[in-house]
Amino acid sequence: MFDSLLFDLMLVILIGILSQWVAWKYRMPAIVVMSVAGLLVGPIFGLINPQESMGDLFGPIITFAVAIILFEGSLNLDVREIKGFSKPVGRIVTVGAFIAWIAGSLAAHYLAGLSWEVAFIIGGLFIVTGPTVILPLLRQAKLKPRPAAILKWEGIVVDPFGALLAVFAFEFIKFINSEVTLKALLLFFAASAFAVFLGWIAALVIGNAFERGSIPEYLKAPILFVVVLCTFVFSDEIMHETGLLAVTAMGMKMANMRLTTLNDVRHFKEDISVLLISGIFVMLTASLDPKILIEIFNPSIILYVAAMLFVVRPLSIWISTIGTDLNVREKLLIGWIAPRGIVALTVSGYFASILLENGYEDAELLTALTFALVFSTVVLHGFSIGFIAKKLNLTTTDESGVAIVGGSRFSAELAQSIKDTGNDVLLIDQSWAALSEARKRGLDSYVGDILSEQVEYHIDLTPYRYMLSMTKTDTYNAHVCADFAPDLGRDHLFQTAFHVGKDVETFTIMGGQTLFSPSISIYSLEERMHAGHVIRKTLLTKQYSYTQYLRERDDKSILLYILRADGSIEFFTPQVELQAVAGDAIIALTSPAKTIERVKERLEEENGEKEIPYEKLEELFTEEPPSGKREIPGAAPISTENAK
């Protein structure tokens, strides 16, 4: 009834995006969900077979998708960040990758029975540990900073180079088997150099056009998309299979041009990459022949997967990290965790079709072989990383760090108070200016959109147990909390109250818990800061209880959080009534009344008990000096108040 190419395309895209949503909702690896979905609609129930229905279009669609995916991945290779690599990371992405290529190729030939040509191509491709898979695992396991950083940057750096290594291996072997002359071999390298040059020129032209404002905002993303495809096709027409090299070079060049306008197209390239990855992955798995699928359980393939898991990966890590400061526990964990991702499967599907066209019949097993390795590593590593990390004492289980979304004077004051307790704190905002107060105080900050996938490539959110969304856009705050609910849990997500005039009844997004007690909007908090309110810490003792504090506190004060005796923190909300005991401290935003009284008493003592007008003191708290900073004698942004 629905046997048409249009229906198949619709179903592929629908299943791919639905799988991504299910993975996000239930905190599952997206690649596992998409694999199961593709197999169900394809070889198991036979609802669709994209390769048959698309015919000659199947190959070009896969090729274009791989080119765009590699370009998007290479945009993360900023040399400024690579320069900051520690010695272990540098060794792993160079020496370790080379050892993994050689050892993986040997395993593919001797254990899986692939020819030398196909084995070296697949061996190069399998050095990758995709960031799209490793980053969610790191968030889940809450690793300590060093092993987390090594695994993260290995995935980001090696991801595009695995495909390039496979390209070079393929071209080199093709020339060798054709018994070509030295001239032809040199021609290949010249064409590869031209591909790099073409990608570099394309990046330079489009980047400068963006910066000069020669392209309107609404055309930036579409034009970039078209330039990527043109660069790929022109290079590939000059010499086959060099197009991937051209788009990777283009992405790397643009990543290092310090383009301010890259942020303008970030959402587009992320959206198109997610759409392509989801669709292509389902297309490949749904197109698997049931006979090839059965081959996954072939003893030789199972033996190959076992060798990659227990021999090749640990061997490459242990050898490459000799002489580094990694300890045995870190080597054991890094040597085990190496999940292959979506890029590995999509690129292997691309090479499978190319190799079959060139007469390599054993390439028919490439997709099944890749699927077996990808599925095994994602499942085994995904479900074991937390357990193994805890056993090796490489997790950060006691962190109470706070990530604050939204830059403002109040958020900077709050962050400073949290930092003073010894807990990690990070401020995030899309505006550089909004974080000016945070920078003045030397607080950690990041300029970017927390809802962007690229944030995970640049900052490590693992140390932060809580996330407070305090921007001046209520809907954005709710979206932030909804987006991070699967990762942090709704108990650790908070947002400021809706500001006056917001029609909350029509707003249905389930965000985080409302911050502070009583609840208050960020607008009101900012007004109080400008009126002289300060964040004060009150230590509870056996003589001065929490009940007494609540009874005597200023009725205008806002309860912010409790600093427990062990250093952890808990935020006040209207929904949950917290209790505090002796040794805990209450942090609250209070009016300047008490501080004025204290300063008044101090100044009167210094002036021989001469009466000082109250109005004169109040001016210190209600007027902003020309410098924008308020100096209050005898007062500090955060102080300790004890029972008398």
Q: How confident is the model at residue 615 (pLDDT cuts 50, 70, 90)?
A: low
Cα–Cα distances in angstroms (integers) from residue 419 to residues 123, 400, 425, 623, in the given order: 47, 11, 6, 27
pLDDT band at 304 (very low <50, low <70, confident <90, very high): very high
- pLDDT digit string, tens, across residues 619-633: 544 444 434 444 434
All domains of the chain, ordered by start, with CATH?
A: 5-391 (1.20.1530.20), 401-641 (3.40.50.720)
When pLDDT is averaged across residues 448-476 and rounded to a whole number, the result is 82
Q: What's the confidence (pLDDT) of residue 601?
A: 57
Q: What is the pLDDT of residue 290?
A: 81
Please check the confidence at residue 534 and state whether its pLDDT lies above 50.
Answer: yes
- At residue 505, the pLDDT reads 46
List the single range of 408-412, 448-452, 588-592, 633-637 with lowest mean pLDDT.
633-637
CB atoms within 10 A of CB 85: 17
Q: 348 versus 231: which is more confidently predicted?
A: 231
Instruction: Report the largest interatomic distance among the alpha carbons of the chain, rounded to a whole angstrom.
Output: 103
What's the rounded mean pLDDT across residues 94-111?
A: 91
Q: What percent of the chain has pLDDT over 70?
A: 80
Tens-digit pLDDT profile for residues 68-94: 877 877 776 666 655 555 678 888 888
Mean pLDDT in residue range 134-145? 73
Q: How many C-beta atoms lie closer than 10 Å to residue 473's C-beta?
A: 13
| 420-457 pLDDT, tens digit each | 988 889 999 988 889 999 999 999 999 888 887 667 66
Number of residues that this document lists for the chain: 644
Q: What is the mean pLDDT of residues 523-532?
A: 89
Q: Angle between the 243-255 and 58-74 helix axes, to the nearest 10 degrees?
A: 30
Q: Residue 201: pLDDT band by 50, 70, 90 thresholds?
A: very high
pLDDT greater at residue 399 or residue 193: 193
- 3-state DSSP of 20-39: HHHHHHCCCCHHHHHHHHHH
Give the per-residue pLDDT at 118. 87
Output 74 or 596, whichever has higher pLDDT.
74
pLDDT of residue 586: 92
How many Å apart are CA 404 and CA 385, to the nearest integer? 28
What pLDDT, on the 0 to 100 scale, is given for residue 266?
64
Q: Give the residue with greater pLDDT, 47 vs 630.
A: 47
Give residue 642's pLDDT band: very low, low, confident or very high (50, 70, 90): very low
Q: For the chain, what is the radius of gyration of the CA atoms? A: 29
Q: Which of 296-310, 348-362, 539-553, 564-578 has the lowest average pLDDT?
A: 348-362
Residue 394 confidence (pLDDT): 84
Tell me what pLDDT residue 443 has: 92
- pTM for this prediction: 0.67
Identify which has the larger pLDDT, 433 or 30: 433
Say yes or no to pLDDT of 96 above 70.
yes
Q: Where are the alpha helices (DSSP H) in 423-473?
A: 436-440, 455-458
Note the pLDDT of residue 611.
56
DSSP for 356-420, written as a single string? HHTT-GGGGGHHHHHHHHHHHHHHHHHHHHHHHHHHTT-B--S--EEEEES-SHHHHHHHHHHHH
Q: Which residues in 233-247 are b (16+ Cβ under 10 Å) and which e?
A: bbbbeebebbbbbbb
